[in-house]
A = this chain, B = another copy of it.
Amino acid sequence: VRARYIIGLEGSIDPTDRGIAYGDGLFETMSLQGGIVQRFELHLERLSSGCDRLELPLPDRVELAQNIARATDGIDRGSLKLILTRGTGPRGYLPPVSPDPTVILLAEPQTEEPASEIHVATLNSRLGENETLAGIKHLNRLEQVLARLELSHLDADEGLMLSTRGVVIGGISRNLFAVFGDSIATPVIDRAGIAGVMRRSVLEQCVELNINANQRELSPQDLHSADELFMTNALVGIQSVTRLDRTEFATHKIASRLRQAIETSGNGRAGHG
């Protein structure tokens, strides 16, 4: 696989790139701390499973790491966005037999500390269901763009998204966890949603801490009757939901405990880019 690397804002994409034509690719948004990509192995694993699903070639690991080092050079704390597309191709949906993927690497310094508490509003925007695309972080994100537009008119930090079937999937750019008594539930994401890297870390941490956690179908009503809600993504970590629509949540015990555990655990161990 001979990937074409585009590093930073000065690079340019070919107008026939299938990323732009069809959203034919994947992305990862990673946290940079102390100049090091956090949870790099988990991001790479998700990228790899996305490549399997889309029949995309995974870029060479060493070459990828070298280019990430270049892209993040001089940035201590911030984010690294990786976009992988199927590269250029002739007109039409049919992928080239041996595509040369495009890899875009955009790093930027962190401008502000993520909040530890957020307000969430249930959105009218829904997520379509399709098993084939669920879970992976592909580039077809118009549903999220329209949801983010809807959220911009509301007094909230994040939107709660349901699937077209009316079940809870998560935030626009965060996974969701609900605490009921001494157990934790997070929505199944086999028909819609993204298998977040921080979601995985939280589930793994629950095993470590002997907290009962499971993935299951959740209704909006379930959430309003929860004892505690929190949301996660690779950049913000774990954020407590203090309000969902008109329901207030005063308890943030489990979120605090998990946040602390993840910060000091092996899960938080950085992988070099």
In-complex Cβ contact of A128 among B16, B129, B139 (8 A): B129
CB-CB under 8 A from A69, the residues of chain B are: none
Which residue of chain B has its CB nearest to the CB of A90?
B108
Q: Would you call A9 and B20 a contact (CB within 8 A)?
A: no
Task: Say whether A132 contacts B126, CB under 8 Å.
Answer: yes
Q: Which of A126-160 contact B (CB under 8 A)?
A: 126-133, 138-149, 152
Residues of B within 8 Å of A21, CB to CB, are: 27, 83, 139, 141
* A31 interface hit (Cβ, 8 Å): no
Inter-subunit contact B20/A13 (CB<8 Å)? yes
Among A91-99, A240-248, A257-265, the stretch in contact with B: A91-99
Which of B104, B141, B147, B152 lies in contact with A23, CB distance below 8 A?
B141
Q: Are B79 and A144 in contact (CB under 8 A)?
A: no
Assembly CA distance A86 to B131 (angstroms): 28
* Inter-chain contact B143/A133, CB cutoff 8 Å: yes
Residues of B within 8 A of A108 (CB): 91
Q: Does the CB pair B104–A15 fall under 8 Å?
A: yes
Q: In the complex, what residue of chain B is closest to A19 when comparing beta carbons?
A: B20
With A20-B104, A104-B20 given, is the CB distance from A142 to B54 under 8 Å?
A: yes
Q: A54-B142, A141-B93 are in contact. Are A83 and B20 (CB under 8 A)?
A: yes
Residues 1-27 of A, flagged 1 when their CB comes within 8 A of B and 0 if not, give 000001011011111111111111001
**What is the minimal beta-carbon distance from A160 to any residue of chain B, in angstroms?**
15
Contact between chains at A145 and B20 (CB < 8 Å): no
Q: Is A72 an interface residue (CB 8 A)?
A: no
Q: Which residues of B contact A86 (CB under 8 A)?
A: 145
Q: What's the nearest-Cβ distance from chain B to residue A14, in Å?
A: 7
CB-CB under 8 A from A13, the residues of chain B are 12-15, 17, 20
Q: Is the CB of B14 within 8 A of A12?
A: yes
Q: In the assembled complex, how far is the CB of residue A77 from the closest CB belonging to chain B, in whole angstroms?
A: 15
A142 vs chain B, min Cβ distance (A): 5
Q: Tell me the complex Cα distance, A12–B104, Å.
A: 14
B132 touches A129 (CB 8 A): no
A-B contacts, 16 listed (Cβ < 8 Å): A9-B14, A13-B13, A13-B14, A15-B83, A15-B106, A16-B106, A19-B20, A20-B104, A23-B23, A81-B91, A93-B141, A93-B144, A93-B147, A128-B164, A132-B146, A139-B142
Known: A94-B148, A95-B149. 20 other contacts (CB 8 A): A9-B14, A9-B15, A11-B15, A13-B14, A15-B106, A20-B104, A21-B27, A22-B141, A22-B142, A22-B145, A23-B23, A23-B139, A24-B142, A55-B149, A79-B91, A92-B173, A93-B172, A95-B145, A126-B130, A132-B143
